[in-house]
Amino acid sequence: MDLRFDHNGLITVVVQDAETGLVLMVAWANEIAIQQTLDTGFATFWSRSRKELWRKGSTSGNTMQITQIHVDCDADTLLYRVRPAGPACHTGNTTCFYRTLEEALAEETL
C-alpha cells in the first residue's frame, strides 16, 4: 500500500511516549521527513510554519528516538511511538497537550 499524503504532500503524525503512553504532540511529515526518520531512527517532521524539514530536537536537544511507527487504516495518519530526550513542547511542558480545553478557553491569550 501507499501512504496517502494530502494536497500539500503532507501526512499527519501523532507522537506518543512509548513508555508512559502520553500523547506528546501532533506534527506533519512529507516523504523526505519520513525517510529521514526511518534512516536516522529519530523523529523528523515538516514544519508548516517555517516550510522546512524539522529534525525534532536539533536546536533544543529534545530529540525523539523512534521505537515503532504505526499507520492507520486508511493510511493518512502515522503514529510515532518514541523515547523523548526531554519535553516535547516548546513551552517546556512534557506534552503539548498540557491544558484541558476548559482551561485553554478560559485563557485570554495563547
Task: Give the footprint of its own copies on this chain (CB under 8 A).
Answer: 1, 12, 14, 16, 20-23, 25-26, 68-75, 77-79, 89-91, 93, 96-102, 104-105, 107-110
> At closest approach, how far in Å is the CB of 24 from its own copies?
10
3-class secondary structure, 90:
coil
State CA 63 to chain mean position distance: 11
Residue with cell 519520513: 34
3-class secondary structure, 35:
helix
Alpha-carbon gap, residue 67 to 27, rounded angstroms: 17
Nearer to its own copies, 5 or 98 (CB): 98
Ramachandran sector of residue 10 (left: φ over 0; alpha: ψ -120 to 50; beta: rest): beta
> At closest approach, how far in Å is the CB of 35 from its own copies?
12
Nearer to its own copies, 39 or 108 (CB): 108
> At closest approach, how far in Å is the CB of 73 from its own copies?
5
Nearer to its own copies, 14 or 85 (CB): 14
